[in-house]
Chains A and B, each alone.
Chain A
Amino acid sequence: METVSATDWRHCLNKVPEATLSFWIIKILSTTVGETGADFLAVNAGWGQNVTRGVMGALLALALFLQLRGKRLAPWAYWLTVVLVSIVGTQITDLLTDGWGISLYVSTAVFAVLLIAIFAVWYRIEGTLSINAVNTRRREWFYWSAILCTFALGTAAGDLATEALNLGFVLGVAIFGILIGLAWLAWRLRCHAVLTFWIAYILSRPFGASLGDLLTQAREYGGLGMGAMWTSGLFLASIVLLVAMQQRDFATSNAFEAVE
């Protein structure tokens, strides 16, 4: 009895959501919305890259503050942070590539090494990389650093696939989709759960970007021609709905705990 309640306590203090189907859908959709949103502000709204970077960086700091400050998981704060990490992670890679002319081979390698280093330090200090026990301030910092790094790495690796392999978005959706499917299969076959989670997390960045391109790009380029505005609107509405559902589920489970 003692042990059960102890794990329950730990579990409810976990500040990140479980990796369910809706978790992955929201994650992929927020990747796309993050990218088109930042692009819209920089180009269509005419803010320019520097202003957009500054504003997004400040918003991320604010969202991260809200996420870290809370004592429990609040889905809206968590997903707001993910969307902003997605934007900033993409902007970091774009700045390195377009602004400083750093080769995508170099940035992909550097982010991969950096991510491995974060995991190594995380594991060394905490003895676990479990995403079901992100329950201390330090683990939260490890978690969010790793997330930021996966977005930067996912962007660089995805762009590298476009540049080096001439991989268009149609093939991109297929290939990254299959790779995510393989990660899912490995997870079903009880391969390392933490490892498969992070691999899928990295892959879902280029997958989300290709999916977004498939919907937004004109038909003459092989897209569905929905345009950036409709796609972002549809995705944003889906995100809000799914997060609202998580928020509701979460409120219900909290109510259950209170009754018990």
Chain B
Amino acid sequence: MPIRFSSSRRLTGRLLVLALGCVAVLSGCSKPAASTEHAAAAATSAAPASRHVASALGDLASFRHISAEVSSLVDRGNLPAAKTRIRDLEIAWDSAEAGLKPRAPADWHQLDKAIDRALETLRADTPVQQASHAAMQNLLKTFDMLQGQA
């Protein structure tokens, strides 16, 4: 009985080492991908240029960039395309939550609410252009306000 227990325990220990090895390899592998991503984000943030100051949440340029695209799709009356594109914003925003939120929870919630409202209006059964336009303007304004205050 004790022998079986300790062998299983040793095996658990070995698996733990193996798992840590996997983490090391995977995080090492992701390095080039992460840095190109970062470079891309830096490039897009460099384009609209100097008036962009990083907010307390850090660099929000990549999120604002998608939002601006959605907004121009809405203004051109292409609501289905806007609905498709805003999904990218939702996924990017959602996956960055753990990284962004602790930096400035109140700011994060403000943006999160604005994004939620935009998602809601674009995903309504019959989306209305005027309401979508207002929601997107509000979202862009929220971005600019947060980036202006830092």
Query: Do most interface residues of chain A lie in helix, strand or loop, or is the interface mixed?
Result: helix
A7 within 8 A of B: no
Contact, CB under 8 Å: A241 / B94:
no
Contact, CB under 8 Å: B100 / A224:
no
Tell me the B18-37 residues at the A interface (CB within 8 Å).
19, 22-23, 26-27, 30-31, 33-35, 37
Give the size of the chain B interface in residues (CB under 8 angstroms): 39
How large, as a class, is the contact surface on chain A?
Answer: 35 or more
A168 within 8 A of B: yes
Cβ contact of A213, chosen from B19, B35, B90, B98, cutoff 8 A: B98
**Contact flag A218-B15 (CB < 8 Å), given A20-B9, A43-B94, A227-B30:** no
Q: Which residues of A contact B41 (CB under 8 A)?
A: 220
Q: Which residue of B lies closest to A46 (CB)?
A: B87
Give the A-B contact count at a CB cut-off of 8 A: 100
Tell me the B35-62 residues at the A interface (CB within 8 Å).
35, 37-38, 41, 58-59
B76 within 8 A of A: no
Q: Min CB distance, A254 to chain B, in Å? A: 12
Q: How far is the CA of A184 from the CA of B93 in the complex (A)?
A: 37
Can you list 14 A-B pairs with a CB-CB distance of less than 8 A?
A21-B9, A21-B12, A44-B91, A166-B105, A213-B99, A215-B23, A217-B96, A218-B38, A221-B100, A223-B98, A224-B23, A224-B30, A234-B19, A234-B26
- Which A positions have Cβ atoms within 8 angstroms of B? 20-22, 25, 39, 43-44, 46, 162-163, 166-169, 213, 215-228, 230, 234, 238, 241-242, 245, 249, 252-253, 256
